[in-house]
Amino acid sequence: MINNHSMSNVNHRHLRVGELVKQSLGQIFLRNEAKIPSLNTKLVTVTEVKMSSDLKSARAYVIPLGGKESEKTVNILTEFSHLVRKALSKKLDTKFLPKLHFVEDKSFDYAERIEKLIKKNKSK
């Protein structure tokens, strides 16, 4: 049986590792350390990283500058994830190097839609 204290430690650990991966990916993209052809990684923002329960895979939410061509960016990052992972291996000191899954971050679009609805409602 798992008590609340050990569950809390697991959650904190996932958050800590996720934040570490997020910061490392941000540095890799900013410094173009992954050397991905046909993509200027300096224009890619990593908004969040969610770790799997076993910490062996990471879902990285990304958005290109201006939100343009998000799907294309995700596809390129997915295709060249082995290069990103290789660069990540030089920055992380964890038991397992997580497999990377890149996902388009749609939270900004969602927030914008909510804001427009609120403004529309206020003007009535």
Range of 88's domain? 4-122
C-alpha pair distances (Å), 100 with each of 49, 71, 111: 10, 16, 26
Q: What is the pLDDT of residue 123?
A: 74
The count of structural domains within the chain is 1
Q: Where are the alpha helices (DSSP H) in 31-64?
A: none
The angle at the Cα of 93, spanning 87 to 94, to the nearest 5 degrees, equals 105
Identity of the residue numbered 72: K
CA–CA distance, 94 with 8 (Å, rounded to integer): 20
**CATH number, position 32:** 3.30.300.20
Pairing of strands 44-51, 57-64: antiparallel
Name residues of the chain where pLDDT drops below 50. Answer: 1-6
pTM of the predicted structure, to 2 decimals:
0.80
